[in-house]
Amino acid sequence: MRNTLLFFILTIAISSCQTNHQGKLFVARDFVPDSTFTSGVEGPAVDKEGIVYAVNIHQQGTIGLILPCGTILKVIDLPEGSIGNGIRFDKECRNMFIADYKKHNILRIDLATNKLSVFAHDSSMNQPNDIAIADNGTLFASDPNWADSTGKLWKITPAGETVLLEDAMGTTNGIEVAPDNKKLYVNESIQRKIWVYDLDKNMNISNKRLFFQFSDFGMDGMRCDTLGNLYVTRHGKGTVVVLSPQAKQLREITLKGKKVSNIAFGGKDGKTCYVTIADRGNIETFRVDVPGRSWKMYFK
């Protein structure tokens, strides 16, 4: 758990932060103003207290902590030369993991001590981009090479060991573990394909197959809700598409910005989505009808 003083401060701040959790479902509104973040805004992730974390607030190489009402609480500076992308918490919310694409790292922040360390490093990575986490703490990282439209897929064990799962893929980007921890979804932005793998109890992959393919625009981050529906950000189109576990398109949610980069679930009931928008340098938010998988991880 976080240290007592910090937890007390956060509790007071959040309780005084008035939010409106009502409103029409699937209708986007601004969470923070334009240009709060750089065009590298990514992440995002939400902890047990409802605080939203996203990278590159005000300038590159930072992480912003934002209250549920949109008030900026704190800015974390990453080590010099490091720039974050995807963020995930473990299921206890004791550790925050950040993909540091500049230095080929997965960083870890111990939230009890605020100590930042390199959790995993592999110089053969292109640039760790988005990350997903299984209930047992195993991380998965996409690793695109944008210059030649290829990518890799990595597993990072709870001990910080890097394991190359697949090489010579398309431009790997969004990545997510299904709620039952038996499937792994990975998309290829340039190729517009989403692949799904089976996961065994050791978090090894098998039975790769095409899950869905779009005919236009790219993709970026993805997250599941508790029913296994996959929320896919459509970079360039300005939407989030919701796909069922059977690969049926359920709905498409329109955002104000076009370069939608990633998505996270939060809120007290897990039914608030936060979406990072690169062309606006901000975060948009909308309400949904099913809570996110991360909410189930934290509170089941």
DSSP state at residue 247: S
Q: What pLDDT score does 10 carry?
A: 57
Query: How far apart are alpha carbons 55 and 83 in whole angstroms?
Result: 8
CATH number at residue 142: 2.120.10.30
Q: Say if 19 falls within a structural domain.
A: no
Percent of the chain with pLDDT over 70: 92
Q: Say if 275 falls within a structural domain.
A: yes
Q: Say if 20 falls within a structural domain.
A: no
Per the structure, the count of domains in the chain is 1
Q: Say if 85 falls within a structural domain.
A: yes
Q: Say if 210 falls within a structural domain.
A: yes
Q: Is the pTM of this model over 0.75?
A: yes
Task: Decide: 152 and 126 in contact? Cβ < 8 Å.
Answer: yes
pLDDT per residue as tens digits for the range 148-206: 999 999 999 999 999 999 999 999 999 999 999 999 999 999 999 999 999 999 999 99
* Residue 120, token pair as written in the block: 């995993």
Q: What pLDDT score does 11 carry?
A: 55
Q: How many CB atoms lie within 10 A of CB 145?
A: 17
Q: Say if 22 falls within a structural domain.
A: no
DSSP code string of 122-175: -TT-S----EEE-TTS-EEEEEEETTTTEEEEEEE-TT--EEEEEEEES-EEEE
Between the two ends of the chain, the Cα-to-Cα distance in Å is: 17
Residue 34 has pLDDT above 50, yes or no: yes
pLDDT band at 277 (very low <50, low <70, confident <90, very high): very high
Q: Say if 21 falls within a structural domain.
A: no
Residue 300 has pLDDT above 80, yes or no: no
Q: What is the mean pLDDT of the chain?
A: 93
State the residue range of the domain holding 57: 4-14+28-299
Q: Say if 253 falls within a structural domain.
A: yes
